[in-house]
């Protein structure tokens, strides 16, 4: 899904725009015990309650793509005949009125999800009459496409803190403990995907608040899909992959070539204001390494390990693989920070059997805030 398509659905999470009729829910203890289930009619909600529920579902459609919002793809065999896809379709096609499907869904989530807190599972269904959009982006009229979808939000529930509160009856302050409150969601998903502003039953959009923990146990249980590495782990894995597979050929020039390519992709994507997700594949990185002079043997090893680490046909966000705002060289005793676009100032050399990092000095050299001069002799 593109950022525009996600934004189009997110804007529907408003009281005056949504077609949601009901919210289904399940309250779960930290041990995974289902404490209660409920059905709330949207039409009978107060304005405050309606806005609260919609703000939760709006959050599931928020965040950075490939970090908080992750596209998950089903295999053709799963869509054709699998329990996990049938369950999602039953929830969608029934408008969340299939009680057996709801029970199975709740049991699947509670059986898989590891949580330190009580939590709330929320489900909503909407039918969106997708308006026809002209080439200039102007909505002309309602089209024939009706996008029927399910949103899920999983929210931690925590006890309120004791507060010193004023009581009007005795005109005094007393310690009071508020009840339990649901926080913004940690996890969630949209099914099916809204690709090309049309229904795509082969994909869903998964939400994780934490870029460091996407709860792979839930992805495996609900979708039977191999979970992608969390965004925060991708850079470390990619860096280790380069170092380990290239070995003695992992020079500063080679690493600079890869990181420069990734930074340029990010910059071009930003300048063109493309709403398509920015991704890079293993073969594309391999091509950069080949142009940098890496041997065929090392290239083959890199390709194999890339697929083992990130999956076959993996497409990663360059933003997860490189720090676009800084360049850092580090030894046990020295750290050098360089502007990302001035890597040309730094080189490595071996002189008299000793390895050096050499930085070309131009005007304005300081040591701890003191201007210093470099002997030109």
Q: What is the pLDDT of residues 20-38, one digit of tens each?
A: 999 999 999 988 999 999 9
Query: Do 165 and 173 contact (CB within 8 A), yes or no?
Result: yes
Query: Do 361 and 346 contact (CB within 8 A), yes or no?
Result: no
Assess whether pLDDT exceeds 80 at residue 209: yes
| pLDDT, average across residues 191-196 | 95
Assess whether pLDDT exceeds 60 at residue 248: yes
Distance CA(61)–CA(288), nearest Å, equals 34
Distance CA(58)–CA(61), nearest Å, equals 5
Which tens digit of pLDDT belongs to each residue from 53-85?
A: 999 999 999 998 889 999 999 999 999 999 999
| pLDDT, average across residues 127-136 | 79
Distance CA(233)–CA(247), nearest Å, equals 21
Q: What is the DSSP letter of 318?
A: G
| pLDDT, average across residues 209-229 | 92
Q: Could you report how far apart the first and last alpha carbons of the chain are, in Å?
A: 60
Cis-peptide into 156, omega within 30 deg: no
| pLDDT, average across residues 308-332 | 87
Count, residues in the chain = 377
Which tens digit of pLDDT belongs to each residue from 83-127?
A: 999 999 999 999 999 999 999 999 999 999 988 889 999 999 999
Confidence at residue 143, expressed as pLDDT on a 0 to 100 scale? 56
pLDDT band of 160, cuts 50, 70, 90 = confident
Query: Do 298 and 246 contact (CB within 8 A), yes or no?
Result: yes
Distance CA(6)–CA(156), nearest Å, equals 24
Which tens digit of pLDDT belongs to each residue from 287-297?
A: 999 999 999 99
- Mean of pLDDT over the chain: 90
DSSP string spanning 193-219? EEETTEEETTEEEEEES-SS---HHHH
Q: What is the DSSP letter of 341?
A: G
What are the backbone angles phi and psi of residue 162, rounded to the nearest 5°? -65, 140
Query: Do 60 and 151 contact (CB within 8 A), yes or no?
Result: yes
Which tokens in the block code for residue 19?
């077609």
273: left (phi over 0), alpha (psi -120 to 50) or beta: left
């Amino acid at each position: 899904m593109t950022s525009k398509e996600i934004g189009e659905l997110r804007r529907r999470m408003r009281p005056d725009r949504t077609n949601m009729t009901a919210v289904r829910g399940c309250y779960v203890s930290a041990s995974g015990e289902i404490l209660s289930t409920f059905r709330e009619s949207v039409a009978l909600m107060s304005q405050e309650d309606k806005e609260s529920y919609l703000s939760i579902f709006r959050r599931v459609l928020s965040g950075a793509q490939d970090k908080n919002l992750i596209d998950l793809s089903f295999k053709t065999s799963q869509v054709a005949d699998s329990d996990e896809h049938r369950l999602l379709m039953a929830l969608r096609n029934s408008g969340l009125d299939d009680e057996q499907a709801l029970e199975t869904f709740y049991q699947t989530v509670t059986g898989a999800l590891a949580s330190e807190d009580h939590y709330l599972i929320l489900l909503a269904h909407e039918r969106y009459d997708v308006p026809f959009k002209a080439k200039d982006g102007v909505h002309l009229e309602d089209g024939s496409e009706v996008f029927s979808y399910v949103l899920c939000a999983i929210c931690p529930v925590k006890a309120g803190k004791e507060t010193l509160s004023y009581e009007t009856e005795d005109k005094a302050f007393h310690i009071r403990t508020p009840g339990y409150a649901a926080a913004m969601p940690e996890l969630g998903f949209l099914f099916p995907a809204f690709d090309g502003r049309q229904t795509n039953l082969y994909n869903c959009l998964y939400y994780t608040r934490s870029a460091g923990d996407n709860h792979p146990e839930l992805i495996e249980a609900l979708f039977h899909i191999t979970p992608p590495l969390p965004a925060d782990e991708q850079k470390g894995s990619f860096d280790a992959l380069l170092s380990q597979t290239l070995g003695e050929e992992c020079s500063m020039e080679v690493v600079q070539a890869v990181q420069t390519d990734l930074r340029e992709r990010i910059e071009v994507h930003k300048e063109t204001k493309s709403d398509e997700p920015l991704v890079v594949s293993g073969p594309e990185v391999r091509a950069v390494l080949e142009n940098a002079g890496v041997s065929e043997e090392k290239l083959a090893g890199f390709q194999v390990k890339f697929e083992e680490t990130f999956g076959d046909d993996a497409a990663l966000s360059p933003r997860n693989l490189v720090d676009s705002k800084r360049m850092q060289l580090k030894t046990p005793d020295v750290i050098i920070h360089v502007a990302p676009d001035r890597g040309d100032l730094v080189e490595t050399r071996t002189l008299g059997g000793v390895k050096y990092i050499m930085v070309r000095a131009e005007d304005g050299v300081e040591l701890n805030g003191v201007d210093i001069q470099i002997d030109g002799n």
